[in-house]
Amino acid sequence: MVARRGDSMPEFTSDLPHHVTRQVRKSMRLEGTAGDIMLAARELYEAQGVTATSMAAIARKAGVTRSLVYYYFPDKQAVTDAVIDDYLEDVVESVSTWNELRAFGDTPSELKNCVAAFRRTLYTADGTPRPLIGVLEELGMRDRFATRAVRECVACIQDYIVSEYLAYRTIEIELVPETFGLLLFGIVGMMKAKPDITDEELATLIAQTLRLDMTVMDPPPWREHPDVPEGR
């Protein structure tokens, strides 16, 4: 039993009638020639800015003709939209990849790892903002992007993480998606306002806000990940 997105989460016991395996999110990145063109535009936007980048420059960078660029993207705005979508995938993928790789049941350690992965998407190791921040600011859509990124991250958490947590533990809060949204906005704001805040401190804030059960659990007696062969 899993509550629908937007609903409050009911209490849940771990007495499941079936095994629970970790779900893997499908990447939403552009592939093929369209993906190559988008990546060329992304590199140019980050190196010289959006305004200074022409469709001809994107074609040269991608190693294709201008006509082929226009075949996949009707105008520069469409290319820019694709770059923004790729930035969005960076953020959501930081959460989904962490979820796929995390150790089962070790909430204290894995919570810090999640914070670290999320932070690395936005900032370098020395705290310098990633190039995507400059592109978003030039476009005047940093706040709009943050809203969209939080919404997509909450959906990812709800679809791929909360359901598994509910299989083994009890959620102690109401308004689960809304709480995650508030928390993510707060984390991003805290990283910006207090760059020296540690991953451990942010993990503590998350655990307190979500009232997480921090007890370390042994892994289940079945394959947790559907794509991992038995014995590994």
Q: What is the pLDDT of residue 21?
A: 60
pLDDT at 20: 52
Q: Residue 139 and residue 81: Cα distance in Å, rounded?
A: 11
SS3 content of the chain, % helix, strand, coil (to 5): 60, 0, 40
User: Does residue 92 surpass a pLDDT of 90?
Assistant: yes
Compute how many other C-beta atoms are within 10 angstroms of the C-beta atom of residue 176.
Answer: 21
Question: What is the rounded CA–CA span in Å between residue 69 and residue 34?
Answer: 8
Q: In this predicted model, what pLDDT tens digit does every residue of 47-76 receive, in sequence order? A: 999 999 999 999 999 999 999 999 999 999
pTM of the model: 0.82
Q: 137: pLDDT confidence band, cut at 50, 70 and 90?
A: very high
Question: Could you name the CATH architecture of 29-74?
Answer: Orthogonal Bundle (1.10)
Q: Which of 1, 20, 4 is nearest to 158 (CA)?
A: 4
Predicted local confidence at residue 218, as pLDDT: 79
- Helices and strands (DSSP H and E) totals, the chain: 10, 0
Query: What is the full DSSP assignment across 146-181?
Result: HHHHHHHHHHHHIIIIIHHHHHHS----SSHHHHHH
Nearest to 188 by CA among 140, 133, 226: 133
